[in-house]
Structure 1
Amino acid sequence: MAITSPEAPWVPIARRKQGHRNACIPPQWRIPSAHLPKDPPRFADGLQSALDVPSKVLSKEEIKITEDYTVATFLEAISRRRFSAETAIDAFCHRAAVAHQLTNCLTEPLFKQAAERARFLDRYLDEHGTTLGPLHGLPVSVKDTFDIKGVDSSTGLAALCFKPAEKNAPLVDLLLSLGAVIVAKTNVPQTLSSLDSINNVFGRTMNPVNRLCTAGGSSGGEGVMVAMKGSLVGFGTDLGGSVRIPAMANGVYSFKPSNSRLPYGGQAVLVTEGMTRLGVQPVSGPLARSIDDINLIMKELVPRAGLWGEDCVFGEWNDAQGRLQGAGPNGEIVIGVLRCDGNCTILPPVDQILSEVTSSLKKQPNIKVVEVSTPTAWTQSQSVMDNLISIDGGVLMGKLLESTQEPLVPWMQSRFKTSEPCQLTEVARLQARRTELEYEMLQIWSEVDRYGRRTRKLDAIICPVAPHPVPEIDRYNTLGYTNVFVMFDYPAGTIPIRDVVEQDLRLGQPLGGESLSISDAGCRELWDERTVNRKVYLGTSLSIQVVVPRLEDEKLGRIMTLIDRVVKGHTTGPKLPE
């Protein structure tokens, strides 16, 4: 008689949690099997896009509500009673359920709570004749790390399942106070430390654009939800690039603010509390379908954030439509182009998209574009950042995994290990080096004349989000183009420009030059036709990153709008400087 070994404790917990999640999807919202993609995805079966499936299973009214509105026009429609909040939220919850069945993007479907909230908002509008707040009825989703009272913040760890939060995160309370409706929480990577959103409890989130490629992380579920139009705005967190990378992977917009602009507290506790204050502090940030949507959200949140978050300041967000004064001699907006971080050379499609954006901007008489040499501080800061974000030694995370005998997912097995937390003197040394690098980076933004007077020379920088296109699952290579901007506390956003086409692939043409580093060698493998079929990149998004100095968040919003309008020929948003 065969002896069966007992299950590790995490296995039944995960099974029960998945059952709980599945039960939250109404039977009438189940997708017919004919519309479900093939798993696992294979290159031989094509690119496996899931973007067109919702149009096959949703009603015409649901499609219109979830697809035809910006944040501004949606809020106006609700306030003018063109449709009820209940109708709208039902449509978005249905679409979120469809998105989840296609991509596995949700951890906590909050459809019942969202419906109750929508009915309350409709009653409030009927009784008071006005909306509850400026975001009345807005469907939003949040990364699983944000606490919502009565709901788990498990982050895909069995040890944290079925331990509901006792109160809301401050950002959640802020959103609710303005009338928003939270429709779901979304999936993340195990340990929040990888760039592909997979964990043992919920499984892997798939990229709806091309299921062979990564959905990004650690806010991967949010990137997918916004791309699949399951919410109008999503909120993630960013320490190494965790809102910007999923935005790139899924072809949407994102905004990583400076510290103190949006509340960050009320997160799942995965490191020793207070440790981030010693190292590098993550931030909360939105993902959306347009920069206009992001600007509207930030306009409502930033001035109120200081009322809700102990980590926030009282600020303003001026959406003035007039002249944007730049650093040029005649007020031109001066944009620097950074093509290399000094550690990892960008691949041809990424270089091409930077050149296309640069060319478009140069045609504007009141924009000045300059190529910028790689600052040594940018290159050197990456190792400092890596050390600062690991000062806790992963001790608490290790204990959480060990408590249920939960194994590391394959990608993490060679990358996660626990160690003794850094001594205070070592932390102080790292922070001192950080200060030196921050000062050195100031030189990229300003110049000194022969009399010792310092003036601004750049308004913004454009650079890659990553040195490579959206890679295959588990092949994202480096954080060097995103993580240091968190250490420097620079606001940074992602703008999708266009999709990869066959001309971008340069089939049969090898990459020249020598590797700059180990990470560069890994990046080159993503272009080496002996290790990848470049056609896997077809249809994925090519994006750029826009960066400004710390606390210039509002200016970042306006410059992103300006760039987006110029490159894509948009007719809305701030006027060009005269």
Structure 2
Amino acid sequence: MSWESIAANKRQALNDSIPPEWRIPPAIFPPEDQLDVTTFPRESGFFTDRELEITSTAAPAILSHLAAGEWTSEEVARAFCKTAAVAHQLTNCLSEIFFDRAIAQAKELDVHLKQTGKTKGPFHGLPISIKDNFNLVGYDSTVGFASLVNDPATYNSTLVDLLLDAGAVLYCKTNVPTAMMIAESVNNVFGRTVNPRNRKLTSGGSSGGESALIAFGGSRIGVGTDIGGSLRIPAACTGIFTIRPSFGRFPNFQTRSGLAGQEAVLSVNGPLAKTLEEVVLWARTVVGQQPWIRDPKCLPIPWRSVEPKQKLKIAVLWHDGIVMPTPPVTRALKETVDKLKTAGHEIVTWAPTEHQDLVQTLARMFVADGGKSVRKLLEPTGEPFRPEMKMYEDATELGVYEMWQLQVTRNSLCKSYLDRWNDAGIDAVLCPTTPYSTVENGKFAYVGYTGVFNVLDYPAVSFPSGVTVDKSVDVAYADHKALSDIDAQIQNDYSADSVHGMPVNLQLVGRRLEDESVLAMTGVILQALASASGKQ
């Protein structure tokens, strides 16, 4: 079969797996020109009040209702499965659907609770969505390649086993870009996932199926991965929360990769959610399961209780010397800094001294194999390289010596950054997550603001700043002197009209392996923002 036929059959099978009763009736199906579909669950009449109550409740409260027997695991699973089915019809966010399996699992959990009076584990009955690359026995992990369709997993990812043992209900997998190496979730098998807040805009990548599902309301906590920004960029594009953890804090063993064996810069997994509280819940619970017992690369570091300083010293990276953030991101950064100063925090400017070298190092690491990993997954079906992956198609393979020298460069840059951090005596770096709030489908062009921290292996939280784009305020820069060719392209492409009303995320970066601290400091920043806005 041709790759086109394989892809078409896979898409049809995915759509056929949506139960008829959860298909949106034609009479209420939103027209294509309705860009914001996040209002559909509440305004369509397609959902019951109970379903809306369940899906709008934060995960800790859901767990409390389940443990008390006030809600059943089955009704919670059905509410999220139905919402995920609708989210997919409107945003194309799913890659695998196993609602029947989830509901059967939920029923078993209800029986367990009734018979024993105890929950199965800390995630008892909580539906959790997972990115396409997490292996689940019996289901594909195509990571966007036609050659991996109808190649179901014969083993679970370590994290999947951990979540199931903790009582989580897994019900769907979410779409990714080809090889998970594009900043938008688009591939030749499933096509493009769009942003539920504005379907002309991207939900980001590579965990863009997750971010679209969560922003729509079809999941409270979803799990994605990040090797160059693949958690933080989708969170930013949809205005939700995530943490890119330090390597070794969360288990990432036995997940499928588009660049298998590439370990010069390490992939990590982490949660995406609508609230910081839910991100912390996931992190604390997963580490509490002692993943180092199962994953040989996990570090035996229990989750630590952290009391953050109430007066932080924060270094602000206004731009990275390569790309200037677009106007709404610059405004969000300025307004956040003003509010932090008002709250008594010390603000200093952080120079992008190593950033250009770090960005270049990351780019060379990604294509060090000359694009062989991607090519070998495309060739069996004759699937072409997508245009977004030209750097892989054109890459020249590095020899072993050249790769070792690249890692020497990486290590020197890491040491330089650490020394500068220590000399400045800072607690965290505040910076853009991306140059964009989000951007029109097909126009995401730069991952430098996230990628540098993958090379450094620093934990980083992407969080909503509370600022939304205002086309009358966030007009294009006048007389902007481009920092680089890519900066000129991004500023030329910027359209305030296109992203009007979209949320703007920022990024808070902490010290390596101090994931607890960066989450706690994010809480302090959110408190300062809320106080300045009169919300407390």
Shared fold (TM-score, shorter chain, > 0.5): yes
**1:51: Cα distance to partner?**
0.3
Question: Residue 559 of structure 1: CA displacement?
Answer: 0.6
| 2:470 partner letter | V
When residues 32 and 495 of structure 1 are mapped into structure 2, their CA distance, relative to the original with a 3 A threshold, is same
Q: CA deviation at 1:561?
A: 1.3
Closer/same/farther in 2, CA of residues 104 and 239 from structure 1, 3 Å limit: same
Name the CA distance, whole Å, in 2 between partners of 1:110 and 1:418.
38
Moved over 4 A (4+): none
Q: CA deviation at 1:63?
A: 0.4
Q: Does 1:361 align with 2:321?
A: no
- Aligned with residue 431 of structure 1, among 386, 396, 407: 407
Q: What is aligned with 1:393? A: 370
Match of 1:28 among 13, 16, 21: 21
Contact 1:378 1:441 in 2 (8 A): no
Whether 1:305 and 2:291 are equivalent positions in the alignment is yes
Q: Which amino acid aligns with 2:493?
A: L
What is the alpha-carbon distance in structure 2 between the residues aligned to residue 292 and residue 570 of structure 1? 20
1:527-546 equivalent positions in 2, closer than 5 A? 527=494, 532=495, 534-546=496-508
2:469 is equivalent to residue 526 of structure 1: no
Cα pair 2:374 2:392 within 8 Å, conserved: no
Which residue does 1:472 correspond to in 2? 440
Deviation of the 1:94 alpha carbon: 0.3
Quote the offset at 1:269 in angstroms.
4.3
Contact kept, 8 Å, 2:129 with 2:171, in 1: the verdict is yes
Aligned to 2:35: 48
Report the alpha carbon displacement of residue 351 of structure 1 after superposing the two structures with TM: 1.0
1:500 match: 469
1:549 equivalenced with 2:528 (yes/no):
no
For residues 79-118 of structure 1, give each alpha carbon's deviation from its aligned partner in whole angstroms, at most 9, with x where no partner exists.
0011100010000000000111110000001101110110
- What TM-score do the two structures reach when normalised by structure 2? 0.95
Find the counterpart in structure 2 of residue 246 from structure 1.
Answer: 234
Residues 202 and 442 in structure 2, CA contact (< 8 A), matched pair in contact too: yes
Residue 494 of structure 1 aligns to which amino acid in structure 2? S
Q: Distance in 1 between matches of 2:189 and 2:160?
A: 24
Find the counterpart in structure 1 of residue 148 from structure 2: 160
Q: Distance in 1 between matches of 2:253 and 2:532?
A: 36
CA distance in 1, matches of 2:122, 2:473: 43
Residues of 2 paired with 1:437 and 1:396: CA distance? Answer: 27
Offset at residue 285 of structure 1 (A): 1.1
1:316 shift after superposition: 1.9
Offset at residue 181 of structure 1 (A): 0.8
* Conservation of the 8 A alpha-carbon contact between 2:367 and 2:395: no
Give the alignment of 1:282-361 within 5 angstroms. Answer: 282-303=267-288, 304-320=290-306, 323-325=307-309, 332-361=311-340
Q: Displacement of 1:267 after TM fit? A: 1.7
Q: Separation in 2 of the partners of 1:523 and 1:269? A: 29
CA distance in 1, matches of 2:492, 2:30: 28
Matched to 1:81, the amino acid is G
For residues 443 and 523 of structure 1, what CA distance do their matches in structure 2 show?
Answer: 32
3-state SS in 2 of match to 1:182: strand
Other-structure match for 2:383? 406
Distance 2:402 2:252 in 1: 26
SS in structure 2 opposite 1:370?
strand
1:246 partner SS: helix
Q: Is the 8 A contact 1:209 1:539 kept in 2?
A: no
User: Counterpart in 2 of 1:229?
Assistant: 217
Question: Which has the greater radius of gyration?
Answer: 1
Change (3 A) 1:555 1:194: same
* TM-superposed deviation, 1:511: 2.9
- Does the CA contact (< 8 Å) of 2:370 and 2:392 recur in 1? no
Contact 1:143/1:236 (<8 A) preserved: yes
Aligned equivalent of 1:372, options 325, 350, 353: 350
CA contact 1:465–1:481 (8 Å) conserved in 2: yes
| Counterpart Cα distance in 2 of 1:410 and 1:35 | 36
In 2, distance between residues paired with 1:228 and 1:268?
26
Give the letter for the 2:208 counterpart: G
Question: How far apart are the structure 2 equivalents of 1:504 and 1:552?
Answer: 37
Output the CA distance in 2 between the equivalents of 1:569 and 1:70.
22
Number of the residue aligned with 2:122 = 134
Residue type at the aligned position of 1:10 = W
Residue identity over aligned pairs, in percent, reads 36
Do the aligned residues in 1 keep the contact of 2:144 with 2:187 (CA within 8 Å)?
A: yes
Determine if contact 1:35/1:53 at 8 Å carries over to the other structure.
Answer: no
The SS at the match of 1:265 is coil
Q: Tell me which of 276, 282, 290 is aligned to 2:262.
A: 276
What is the Cα deviation at residue 324 of structure 1? 2.1
2:52 aligned partner: 63
Deviation string 1:153-172 (CA, Å, 9 cap, x unpaired) is 01121100111001110011
Greater shift in the superposed pair: 539-548 or 435-444:
435-444
What is the distance in 2 between the residues matched to 1:362 and 1:562? Answer: 13
Q: Answer yes or no: is the 8 Å Cα contact 1:147–1:153 preserved in 2.
A: yes
* 1:35 to partner: Cα distance: 3.5
Matched to 2:100, the amino acid is K
1:463 maps to 431
Q: What is the aligned partner in structure 2 of residue 453 from structure 1?
A: none
CA distance in 1, matches of 2:294, 2:530: 37
- Residue 510 of structure 1 deviates from its aligned partner by 4.3
Aligned with residue 361 of structure 2, among 358, 374, 384: 384
Structure 1, unaligned runs of 5 or more? 1-7, 40-44, 327-331, 448-455
Q: Is the 8 A contact 1:468 1:526 kept in 2?
A: no
Count of aligned pairs between the two proteins: 530
CA distance in 2 between counterparts of 1:54 and 1:126 reads 32
Residue identity matched to 2:346 = K
TM-score (norm 1): 0.88
Partner letter of residue 171 of structure 2? Answer: V
Aligned counterpart, 2:83: 95
- Do the aligned partners of residues 510 and 442 (structure 1) sit closer, same or farther apart at CA in structure 2, a change above 3 Å counting? closer
Q: CA deviation at 1:424?
A: 1.1
Answer with 23-32 or 307-316: which moved more: 307-316
Rounded Cα–Cα distance in structure 1 between residues aligned with 2:82 and 2:409? 50
RMSD: 1.9
- Superposition deviation, residue 418 in structure 1: 5.5
SS at match of 2:194: coil
| Native 8 Å contact 1:107 1:187 kept in 2 | yes
Q: Structure 2 CA distance, aligned partners of 1:155 and 1:484? A: 24
Partner residue of 2:246 out of 258, 277, 286? 258
Distance 1:570 1:424 in 2: 54
